[in-house]
Every structure is written in C-alpha cells, then in structure tokens.
Structure 1
Amino acid sequence: MKIAVIAGTRFDTALGCSLLERSGILCHPIPMARTPEEQNLLQYTNTNGLQQTMEEAVNRLEHRGFQGVMVFCNSLASSINMDQLRQQTSLPIITPLDVYQNMPDQWQRILLMTANAHTLGTIEALLLARNAHMEITGFSSLDLIKRIEHQEARQVMADYPLNHLLALTRQQNLEAIVLGCTHLTKIFDHIRAITPLPVMDTGTIMAEMVKASLT
C-alpha cells in the first residue's frame, strides 16, 4: 500500500507520514512550501498557482502506482477547489474537510483552533452548514504553528499561553475543542492532559480514515 501525503511544509508532511507508517503503509511526502510563512502567503496570494501545483502533483501520482492521497493540511485543503481536484483523478483523496462532515452532532459550543483566519472561516462555514445553531469560538495563530515546528512539544506547552486559552473554554461553557491544524497533532496528547473537554484532532482522525479505506 502506497499513499502520497501532501501538506504545507516538510514538518506536517512528515507528521502525516509517521501516522500512516505505524500501520505499515508506505508514504511519499509532498510538501507545498518550505516554511509556515511561505505556505500562509501562498494561500492568500496565489491560490491559482497552488491549485495548479496540486493538480500536477496528483496527476503524476496516478501513473506511479499510488493507491490514494491524504492532504494533511487544513489550510491547504481550505485554499484549493477539492471538487475540481477530485474530478481530475481516479485516486481517492482524503482531506481534513472530510473529517468535519462527520463531526459529532451533540456538540453545540466548541473552540476551533487553526493556523490562520482563512482556514478558520472555511471550517466554520462547513460546520454551520451542518448545524446552523452551533456556536464557534475561533482561535488562529501562525506563531503557535511556527513554535510547533521548531520546539519540542513540552517546550511549546511551557512557552505558549495555551492554559489561558483553555481557561476560556470553562468561562464560555464550551463542550469540545477541535484542532483545525495538523501541526496541532504534535501537541494533541498534551492538550488532552490539561482539559476535561473532549479534543477532536483532525490529523489522527484523517489517518484512521485512510487506514479504513485501504482495508
């Protein structure tokens, strides 16, 4: 089994591959940018170029024996036309946006954490289309994402004031936390350790979806 993992930078591409390789799935990493800043800029200033690059990458994969594609990046999936991409290939493509289609219906008040505001708005629109009564408290921080790339998970938790953010969940009586950036998968267990709320990590859920599709 061989899956292509397309993501924003080498970091999240490697993180996505590691989740699949634990189950014996061969992975081919394809990062779209060198840094989070570059990826962020592409999503705001060159979506047409990003779309073309993605389409060319997926078309090449189809002729190289791959069985599927995992787009392991919320902001990347939010910036391109996934319907158009899927129409140009027979390969199954799984993205974080697919995860939100199956989010638990019982949650009405959530904290949504993303890398940038564009992604936050895209995911919010998807969730509200499913549940117009959902109340979403949004938080986006490219700075946090950069720290995750360059620091150990424990150091990120020590340096970044996530405890203050999570205190907000208690003040607002929120019911769950949704990690809308795959970089956050690195600190998923650490976040779960300091909150009583359920934490939904799109990265690990996506990896499970890929594994299920191959069995």
Structure 2
Amino acid sequence: MKKIAVIAGTKVDTKLGVALLKKHYKNELVSYPISSTPAEQTYFQTMNPALRQEKMDTIIARLIREEKVEIFFIYCNSLSASVDFEELSKKHRVPILTPFLFYKELAQTYLRMGVLSANAQGAAGIERVIVQENIEADVYSITNIDWVNSIETGKTPSEICASSGIKESIAFFEKNQVSCIVFGCTHFPYFFDEYQRLSSIKCFNADTYLVESLNELLSR
C-alpha cells in the first residue's frame, strides 16, 4: 500500500489528520508537523515566501527520498494558503492533497460564505480560492488564534464554544445573512458539532472531501 505523509502546522493538527486517515485506511502514515506551536506556525507562514517555499520543497524531497512517501496529505488550511503546493506537486511528481479544492466546489453553489480561520493567512487564501472560482461570491471572514490555542491546551468543545467569541461569530454571520459557514482551519472540526448545534446556518469542513479525494488516488 502507498505510504502517506500527513503534514500540518503543529503536532495537534497533524495528530488530528492522522486520526482522520486511520478511521478509513490501513496505509502506513508518516506524521510531520512543521512547527511546535501555533505561534511558530504563524511565524513560518509569514516569513519570506521564497524561503518558506524552499523549506517545504526540502521537506517533501526528504520524505520522498528517505521515507518513500507517495502521497502528501496537507492537513492545514493556512499552510495550504502560504505554500504553492501545486508547484511542488508538479516538481516532485507526487499527488499533494490540500483542503482548497473543496472551497472551489462550495463557491459554485454558495454566494455568501462565512469563513472561520485560525489566522489571516488562512482566511486570505480561502477567500482567494473562492473569489477566483466565482467572481460573484462574497466572503465574510473571522480569525481567532485563541480557538486553536484552546484546542491545543485540551479544552472541551463546549468550553470553547461558550467563550472566545464563538457565539459572537454566529451572530455576525447571521446578521450578514451568509448562506454557509466554512471551517477554514483543520483544528476546528474538533468543535464542529457543538458549533453547528448553536447555529442554524449550514456548516462545512473539508474532512469528507479530503477522504473522498484520497479514495480516488488510492484506487488508481
């Protein structure tokens, strides 16, 4: 079976990505967090673009050479926004899955979309993908790194949704009459069910799409 590398921003979202794949596959997985903390990951995402791209290029080349990885699973939205993975996929001739193709699909159906993201890099990347796919789409974004930190420190979904502006985010989206809310951070499915319980607006995260896309790759 093909070996899959799960790459994400920190150990926590990398672990979440590994857990997602283990529910569906028996393939050997290589876990590779880019940073130790959310703050370090934001620093990486805002560093010189050429250096950032070079670092990811080196990581992917090494995982192919030393670990014999055949598929890369990028389980981080803001990382996907800050690195040109399409270029790296072509250069190394390996499939690299990111959540961003899912947002292209949503943009074909929804014209007023709310986005929850960890930081501005992720929100900007998601907005860019949506608007480039559908010029008529409007995007209303909220970013909050505290939600990521709360997950990393082990708070429960109900504790997170009771504080840190979660309920206010729902009120903001309702007031602006968005037609759906996109969970634009791979940490956030952790509190997805609790958030959806509090909101009447349809919520989406990319997990199902990523698994279906990986199914297609593995069946070839």
**Partner of residue 83, structure 1:** 86
What is the aligned partner in structure 2 of residue 188 from structure 1?
A: 192
Counterpart of 2:163 in structure 1 is 159
Deviation (angstroms), 1:22: 0.7
Q: Which amino acid aligns with 1:105?
A: Q
Gaps of 5+ in 1: none
How far is the alpha carbon of 1:96 from its aligned partner?
A: 1.6
Q: Residue type of the partner of 1:129?
A: Q
Relative to structure 1, the CA distance from residue 212 to residue 185 in structure 2 (aligned partners, 3 Å threshold; closer, same or farther) is farther
Looking at structure 2, the residues matched to 40 and 118 of structure 1 have their Cα atoms a distance apart, in angstroms, of 8
What is aligned with 2:9?
Answer: 8
Match of 1:60 in 2: 62
> Could you tell me how far apart the structure 2 residues matched to 1:40 and 1:104 are?
26
Q: State which of 34, 37, 40 in structure 1 corresponds to 2:36.
A: 34
In the alignment, the residues of structure 1 paired with residue 103 and residue 201 of structure 2 have an alpha-carbon distance, to the nearest angstrom, of: 18
Return the offset for 1:136: 1.2
RMSD: 1.7
- In the aligned structure 1, how far is the partner of 2:213 from the partner of 2:4? 12
Percent sequence identity over matched residues?
Answer: 28
Alignment check: 8 A CA contact 1:95 1:206 kept: yes
Give yes or no for contact 1:107–1:176 (8 Å, CA) kept in 2. yes
In structure 1, how many angstroms separate the alpha carbons of the residues matched to 2:191 and 2:208?
A: 12
Stretches of 4+ aligned residues off by more than 4 angstroms: none
Following superposition, the deviation at residue 208 of structure 1 comes to 3.0
Aligned to 1:72: 75
What's the counterpart of residue 50 of structure 2?
48
- TM-score, normalised to structure 1, is 0.92
CA contact (8 A) 1:114 1:181 kept: yes
Q: Hey, what's the Cα distance between the residues in 2 that align with 1:210 and 1:27? A: 13
- Name 1:201's counterpart in structure 2: 205
Q: TM-score, normalised by structure 2?
A: 0.90
Moved more, 24-33 or 11-20: 24-33
Matched positions, count: 215
Conservation of the 8 A alpha-carbon contact between 1:185 and 1:204: no
SS at match of 1:29: strand
Aligned to 2:109: 106
Does residue 98 of structure 2 align to residue 95 of structure 1? yes
Kindly indicate whether the alpha-carbon contact (under 8 Å) linking 1:3 and 1:27 is maintained by their aligned counterparts in 2. Answer: yes
* Structure 2 residue aligned with 1:170: 174
The secondary structure found in structure 1 opposite 2:201 is coil
User: Offset of 1:113 from its aligned partner?
Assistant: 1.0
The answer to whether the 8 A contact 2:113-2:140 is kept is yes
Separation in 2, partners of 1:30, 1:125:
26
Give the residue type in structure 2 aligned to 1:146. N
Residues 11, 174 of structure 1: alpha-carbon distance in 2 compared, 3 angstrom cutoff: same
Query: How far did residue 104 of structure 1 move?
Result: 5.1
Residue 93 of structure 1: CA displacement? 0.5
Q: Name the structure 1 match of 2:135.
A: 132
CA distance in structure 1 between the partners assigned to 2:54 and 2:60 by the alignment: 10
- Checking the alignment, whether the CA contact within 8 Å between 1:110 and 1:174 is kept in structure 2 is yes
Shift of 1:58: 1.5
* 8 Å CA contact retained: 1:112, 1:177: yes
Deviates more, 1:174-183 or 1:50-59: 50-59
What residue in structure 1 maps to residue 24 of structure 2? 23
